[in-house]
Amino acid sequence: MKVIDSKFIESAYKFTDLSQSEFPEIAFIGRSNVGKSSLINTLLQRKNLAQISKKPGKTRTINIFEVSCKFNVQKEKINFADLPGYGYAKISEKTQHAWKILIDDYISRRKNLCGLILIVDLRHNADKKDIEAKDWIASHRKEMLLVPTKADKLSKSQAAIKIRMLKDQFLLLPQHEIIGFSSKSRIGREEILEWIGELTALVKNGEVTC
Ligand SMILES: Nc1nc2c(ncn2[C@@H]2O[C@H](COP(=O)(O)OP(=O)(O)O)[C@@H](O)[C@H]2O)c(=O)[nH]1
Ligand SMILES: [Mg+2]
């Protein structure tokens, strides 16, 4: 899959504030500060698109981007959804509760959501919140790709060891792929776009339902 163009569509605090879209949607989920927005910007070859909506106080929103892309010769549109991060220590119980409701509504009710990319820090072991996120995605029967990011901070051999460990920790099912990534070196970019392209094609053919 080749990215041609991308634009910011909207931010929403509540699921019901999101406008409906007919385009297949891929959501990016993970801890605060793990590198979700950087991954989106790298995939879209944009410096600051995913930060545009990140005005102070607006970080608890779902941000939707529309992506024009090319599959072989065919032009298509898909959406990326940048979801608010979990696990930020300084937020109140009330905010955490609002996050859960927003994400749960989004995963269970967003009609065009066809897959989620779960982002973790390659240097760290998976924690309870990451495993919960994976189980949550699985319980909603959504397609998932695990992307351990910040790969530039480890050597190639250390990265390979960590990826094997994460596979075990997440008890990944055979259909769950894992692709190491870095927004600095851009390693993994092509493979992630390929995963998104294949998933979108399966959705179009009716082999995967959103
Ligand atoms: N070295 C390195 N730093 C990264 C990478 N991805 C993100 N960062 C840094 O991590 C911080 C958080 O990134 P951001 O994309 O805003 O995370 P988000 O909160 O999950 O959206 C920023 O300072 C980024 O520059 C990466 O692949 N390598
Ligand atoms: Mg972000």
Task: Determine whether the shortest distance from the Cβ of 87 to ligand 1 is under 6 A.
Answer: no
Of residues 55 and 188, the one with the higher pLDDT is 188
Rounded Cα distance, 91 and 131, in Å: 20
pLDDT digits (tens, 9 = 90+) for 68-122: 999 888 899 999 999 998 877 677 888 888 888 999 999 999 999 999 999 999 9
**Which residue's alpha carbon is at the smallest distance from atom 13 of ligand 1?**
35
Q: Does the pLDDT at position 163 exceed 90?
A: yes
Other Cβ atoms within 10 Å of 41 Cβ, number: 20
- Provide the pLDDT for residue 75: 93
Q: Which of the four pLDDT bands, split at 50, 70 and 90, describes residue 161?
A: very high
Q: How far is the CA of 11 from the centre of ligand 2 (A)?
A: 12
Domains of the chain: 2-204 (3.40.50.300)
**Contact (Cβ atoms closer than 8 angstroms) between residue 116 and residue 144:** yes
| Residue 14 one-letter amino acid | K
Q: Is the CB of 153 under 6 A from ligand 1?
A: yes
Average pLDDT over residues 112-136: 95
Between 72 and 140, the more confident residue is 140
pLDDT of 59:
64
Could you identify the residue written with the tokens 């500060």? 33
Amino acid sitting at position 56: P
Strands (E), 13-158: 25-30, 62-71, 74-82, 113-121, 143-149
182 lines ligand 1 (CB under 6 A): yes
What's the mean pLDDT when you consider all of the chain? 91
Is 50 exceeded by the pLDDT of residue 35? Answer: yes
Mean pLDDT of 19-42: 95
pLDDT at 87: 77
pLDDT for res 25: 98
Give rounded-to-5 percent helix, strand, coil for the chain.
35, 25, 35
- Residue 53: predicted pLDDT: 47
The DSSP call for residue 86 is B
Please name the helix (run of DSSP H) or strand (run of DSSP E) that holds residue 27, with its range, or none.
strand 25-30
- For residue 29, how far is its CA from the centre of ligand 2 (angstroms)? 10
